[in-house]
Amino acid sequence: MSGLLALLDDVAAIAKVAATSVDDIAAQAAKAGTKAAGVVIDDAAVTPKYVHGFEASRELPIIWKITKGSLFNKLVVLLPAALVLNAFAPWAVTPLLMLGGAYLCFEGAEKVFHALFPHADHEVEEDLDVGDPARLEEKRVKGAIKTDFILSAEIMTIVLSTLDAGELWVTASALALAGVMITAAVYGSVALIVKMDDIGLLLARKARTGAGRGLGHGLVRGMPRLLAALSFVGTLAMLWVGGSIILHGLEVTHLWAWPYETIHHWADVVSHAVPASVAGFAGWFTTALVDGVFGLVLGLLLVPVVTRIIGPLFSKKPGAH
């Protein structure tokens, strides 16, 4: 009997440790997800364009295809790569983060440049010339999954950099949980956004009350503004997150700590100059603003490098764009 009681006590202890580990995984995954918020917003802002122009009946199937591709990117390709990186070359996490941050700065600045100086996109024009809807859908889905891979790589690297050092299975589980949570949040939001105008149209036609029909008309009219606002917020988030990653990386690697330290000094000065009730927000806003301006300047410097040098080098490969 004493042996049985001892065994039960051991089982209870193991279960308690396991429960604690599960809670730790969930907490780390949630914390990591918030750190990747800027990239997540951009991912949600980019995706709706891939279903533009298709029949309403194909919108959700296309989003589901992209969702499955995103999960494959995160769980099958990037998760093992992140674990190998963390085990054998943890020093490379920060440089990879900085590389991803530079990409975000370029993407955000390119959108700003395009808004200020509109120019034709030959790839988009070629895309619109595709006559076969099935072929166009396949092409759009492949393009979306490729774009998702880049954003997912940045997300998983950010998530990895925020996790506490621990057992391999805890790190792997937290990475996987964060990846699934982020994917569900992004593409669930995208599905809701792209179908919102259909919901509004249905309400406008079949609602039994004036308020319901008014809500439907409001949804139909408001969706273009929502998409524009989402794109704008996504651009700001890219510049802010990209600039922050670069500046923090320069400080962590001891390459150039002055910008990071100066910005945080400015944030402290601003925090002490305003009422205590808004001090935290004022400090955060100051840091985010300067990080974003830095990201915009860096991104604008990268635009000619990418479009005139790096882009043409890749385009020389057969079938590359």
In a domain, 255, yes or no: no
Say how many domains are in the chain: 1
In a domain, 9, yes or no: yes
The answer on pLDDT for 227 being more than 90 is: no
In a domain, 155, yes or no: yes
Q: Which domain holds residue 41?
A: 2-225
In a domain, 232, yes or no: no
Q: Assess contact for 180 and 71: CB atoms under 8 A.
A: yes
Q: For position 120, what pLDDT does the model report?
A: 54
Q: For position 170, what pLDDT does the model report?
A: 77
Determine the Cα–Cα distance for residues 17 and 65; give it in Å rounded to an integer.
38
Q: How far, CA to CA in Å, does 110 sit from each of 113, 126, 130, 290? A: 5, 20, 26, 19
In a domain, 134, yes or no: yes
pLDDT digits (tens, 9 = 90+) for 231-277: 788 788 888 888 988 998 999 888 899 999 999 999 999 999 999 88
Return phi, psi of residue 288, to 5°: -65, -40
In a domain, 190, yes or no: yes
Q: Which of 267, 295, 261, 308 is nearest to 107 (CA)?
A: 295
In a domain, 271, yes or no: no
3-state secondary structure of 63: helix
pLDDT digits (tens, 9 = 90+) for 141-190: 887 888 788 778 877 877 777 776 667 777 788 888 888 888 888 888 88
pLDDT band for 49, please (50, 70, 90 cuts): low
DSSP letter string over 199-262?
Answer: HHHHHHHH-SSHHHHHHHHHHHHHHHHHHHHHHHHHHHHHHHHHHHHHHHHHHHTTS--HHHHH
Q: Assess contact for 282 and 270: CB atoms under 8 A.
A: yes
In a domain, 154, yes or no: yes
